[in-house]
Chain A
C-alpha cells in the first residue's frame, strides 16, 4: 500500500534526479527552492522600487501611470514591470513546491515543526503582497480583485458595514484608497521579509542565495520572458460595468473563483481549515524520536566542529562542567537534535584507527556506536573476496540499494551518510577491508537532514573539517548521488593493484564531480526545461481567462445603507421617573437607541430575486442597516420592483419603486436608497 506521501516522495526523487542530470547537482533548482524564493524576493523588491518611482495614486492616475510606465519606456519600465510580475509568480511557485517537497520528504515532523509553522505566515504574506499589487493597477482585473476581496471580507463579522459598498461606483471610491493600497503593498513584503528571516532561524547555514550560475539562468529566463510576453494591464476599471471575463493570475488568485462559487463564509472555512490542517501536520501522526546525540566529556575538548556542522542548531558550546582544563564543552539541545549524526562525522576523535575495544568519540549517537561499526566492518569484510570488494556506507533514507551494490559488499547503515567520519573511508581502504568505498545518500542529492551530503562532499574535497586524508585514492571512493556506480565498480577491477601500504602521495586533490550528461546535452536540457517553465508561467500568469459572468448577462446590485427610526420614540421623563434614576443617569428625555430593521424585496419580471431582513449595526442595534447583494441576470428590457419596510408595520412596505430597465450585457446596475428621495438606480 503506497501512501500519497510515499508517492510524492518517489515523484520528487525522480524530479530531483532529473534536475541534477540537467542542471548538475550544484545548480539543481530542486535542491535550493528556499534560496530561489529569497532570490525572487530580492528581484521583486528591486524592480518594485523602480516601479514605485513612477506610480501615481488615484482612481484614474494609477492606471494612467502604469500604462505610461509600460508603453512610454518599454525597455525599462515595461521590462521592470514584467520582471516584477513574473518574479513574484516565481516566488509563489517555488514556495509552493518547497512546501510540498518538505512535506513529501517528511522534513516537518516533530522537532522540525519550527520551519514548517513559520513558513505558513510566509506563504500567507506572499499572497497578501501579490494581491495588493494587482489591486494597484486599477484595471478590470484589479476591479475584480477589489470587489471579490471585499465580498470575502464582508463575510467576516468584523466590519460595521460592508466594504463592498466602496466599490459600487467611483464616487464611493477615494483617491486616498490607492495610497492605502500602496502602503499595504510595501508593508506586506516588509513583514514577509521579517517572517522569511524568522523561518530560517533554526537552520544552521541556511541557504539564502542560489548557486550563482543558476541565479544567472533564472534572471536570464525572466528577462527573456519579459521581452517575449510583456506584462500588460487589462482595460481600465469601470465600476458601472462588470468585467465578464478577466485574465486571472492563477499563481496568486486561484481562491477568487472559489469565493464566487462558494461564497465568502465557505471560502474562509476552506482556507482556515486548510491552514489549520497544515498547522497540525507536524504533530499528527505523532512520531517517536530516536535518542539524541550524546557528548562524552572525557573525549571532548570543545573544538566546536560539531557545533559548526549541526544543520539544526542543536549544539552549543557552554562553560566546562567537568573540571578539565578546557574552557568549553559541546552541549546537545534535545528539543532540536534530530539524531542525524552529522556531529559525529565532524568530531576529530571519531576515528576507527583508535584500536581500543570500546572507544568513544567526543560525540556519538547512542544507537550507532562507532567502535561497533569498526568491529562489524572488520569481521564482515573478512568474508569478501576478489578484487571488487565494496564497503557501502548507506544512509537510512537511501532506500533499497541496487542488487549490484550488495554483491561482494558489506553494507553499513546509518541515519545520514554525513554521520560517517571520513577516517572510516581511509580505514576501510588502508586496512584493505574493501577495494572500493561507496557512500549511498538520499536519492538525487536531496539530503533529508539538509547538509549531510554537502558536508560529505566538502570533507572529501578538503574544504571542510575533518578532511579525508590525501593518501586515500579518490578513484576508489564513489558517491551514489554524484557518480556512475556501474562504471565505478567496473573501474575497480581495472585499476592497478593497490599499492601496499597506502602512503600519502605528493600533490593532492579530488577529481571533479563527473556530470552524467555531456555539456551540449546539458545546455540543451537546461534551455528546454527553463523554456517550459517560462511558458507555463506566462500561461498561468495571464493567459487562462476566467469568466465570472455568463455572456449576455448583467448584474443588478442592491446597495442600501439606511438609518431607520428608533423603535421607541423619545419620551420626556416625569420628575418622579428622573428621581428614580441614579444622579449621573438623570436626563429629561428618554430615547431608547434600538432602531427598526429593514426588510427588502427585489423582484424581476414578477419573480422574486431576493427577500431579506437586515438588522441595524452596532451592539445596541442603533447603527445603519446595510444591504449589499449582487445578482447576475440576463440582459435586455425587464421590469424591476424593489420594496423596503423600515418601520414597525407587520406587513406591506414603506418604500416601493417599479420600473422598466434595459440592462446591457456586462452592465452593473446599482440600486440605492436615499432617505429623502427613495430608491434610485443607474
Chain B
C-alpha cells in the first residue's frame, strides 16, 4: 500500500483549502491502509461516503474562494470538480458490486482520482494565485 504523501507543491496558498487538502489526504491514506482482500465492503463504502461528503464540501469551499478572488479558470476548475464527484460515486458503485471489486485497483483509482486533479487544476490555481501576488 502506497499512501499519498503530502508534497509542498500541493499547497496552493489558501490556508482553508490547504488545510482541507491535508485532511483529505489523511482520510484517503487511512482508507488505503486498511484496504485488503478481507476488508468488509460496508466499511470501505462507509469510508468512501465520508470522503465523498468531505470532498464535496471542500470543492464548495474552494469554489467560493475562487469566485471571490475572481479566478479566471473557475468554470473549467468547477467542471473538473463535478467530474470528480461523479467519479467517486462510480468508484463506490464498483465497490458495492462484487464483480468489479478489486482492492488493488481501487487503491490505484483513488490515488489517481485525487492526485490528477492536484496536478492539473489545483496547480493552475496555485500559479494564478502566485502570479497575482
Contact = CB atoms under 8 A, between A and B. Distances in A.
A351 B96 CA distance: 17
A353 interface: yes
Interface stretch (B2-10, B87-95, B104-112, B117-125): B87-95
Q: Interface centre among B19, B53, B61, by most A CB within 10 Å?
A: B53
A302 B63 CA distance: 11
Contacts of A303: 57, 60-61, 63-64
Contacts of B46: 354-356
Given A301-B20, A503-B93, A348 B60 contact: yes
Contact of B19 (A299, A326, A500, A504): A326
A354 B93 contact: no
A355 B45 contact: yes
Interface residues of A, number: 33
A465 interface: yes
A369 to B, nearest CB: 15
Contacts of A347: 57
30 contacts: A301-B58, A301-B60, A301-B61, A302-B16, A302-B61, A303-B57, A304-B60, A304-B61, A326-B19, A347-B57, A348-B56, A348-B57, A349-B53, A349-B54, A351-B52, A353-B89, A354-B46, A354-B49, A355-B42, A362-B57, A465-B63, A469-B86, A470-B82, A471-B86, A471-B90, A501-B94, A501-B97, A502-B93, A503-B90, A503-B93
Given A326-B19, A351-B49, A356-B49, 4 more contacts: A303-B61, A325-B16, A325-B19, A504-B89
B121 to A, nearest CB: 17
A466 interface: yes
A418 B78 CA distance: 23
Given A304-B64, A348-B59, A353 B92 contact: yes
Nearest to B52: A353
A469 B16 CA distance: 26
Contacts of A327: 15-16
Contact of B60 (A465, A470, A471): A465
A467 interface: yes
B52 to A, nearest CB: 6
B43 to A, nearest CB: 9
A430 B89 contact: yes
A359 B82 CA distance: 23
Given A301-B20, A426-B89, A469-B89, A325 B15 contact: yes
Interface in A276-328: 299, 301-305, 325-327
Most buried by A among B56, B57, B87, B92: B57
B85 interface: yes
Interface string B20-59: 1000000000000000000000100110111011101111
B49 A355 contact: yes
Contacts of A469: 85-86, 89
Interface string A344-373: 000111010111100100100000000000
Nearest to A355: B46
Dominant SS at the B interface? helix
A356 B16 contact: no
A497 to B, nearest CB: 16
B57 A354 contact: no
Contacts of A430: 89, 93
Nearest to A362: B57
Interface string A460-484: 0010011101110000000000000
Contacts of A349: 53-54, 56-57
Interface of B: 15-16, 19-20, 42, 45-46, 48-50, 52-54, 56-61, 63-64, 82, 85-87, 89-90, 92-94, 96-97
A504 B86 contact: yes
Interface of A: 299, 301-305, 325-327, 347-349, 351, 353-356, 359, 362, 426, 430, 462, 465-467, 469-471, 500-504
A356 B48 CA distance: 11
B77 to A, nearest CB: 14
Contacts of A354: 46, 49-50, 52-53
Contacts of A471: 86, 89-90
A325 B56 CA distance: 18
A487 to B, nearest CB: 29
B58 to A, nearest CB: 7
A574 B44 CA distance: 114
A356 B15 contact: no
Contact of B86 (A362, A465, A470): A470
Sorted nearest first, the 6 A-B pairs with minimum C-beta distance are: A303-B60, A348-B56, A325-B19, A501-B93, A303-B61, A355-B46
A462 B81 CA distance: 13
B53 A353 contact: yes
Given A303-B64, A501-B96, A467 B50 contact: no
Contacts of B58: 301
B54 to A, nearest CB: 7
Contacts of B49: 351, 353-356
A317 B78 CA distance: 22
A501 B91 CA distance: 11
A305 B93 contact: no
B105 to A, nearest CB: 16
A500 B82 CA distance: 22
Nearest to A352: B49
Given A355-B46, A501-B96, A502-B93, A348 B53 contact: yes
Contacts of A351: 49, 52-53, 56
A469 B88 CA distance: 11
A426 B56 CA distance: 15
A3 B16 CA distance: 53
A254 to B, nearest CB: 50
B33 to A, nearest CB: 19
A501 B97 CA distance: 7
B88 to A, nearest CB: 9
Nearest to B68: A304
A322 to B, nearest CB: 13
Q: Choose among A426, A500, A503 the residue with the greatest number of B CB atoms under 10 Å from its CB.
A: A503
A467 B92 CA distance: 18
A355 B53 CA distance: 11
Contacts of A356: 46, 49-50
A141 B106 CA distance: 83
A299 B61 CA distance: 12
Contacts of B87: 504
A634 B125 CA distance: 89
Contacts of A353: 48-49, 52-53, 89, 92
A469 B91 CA distance: 14
B6 to A, nearest CB: 15
A250 to B, nearest CB: 50
A67 B61 CA distance: 63
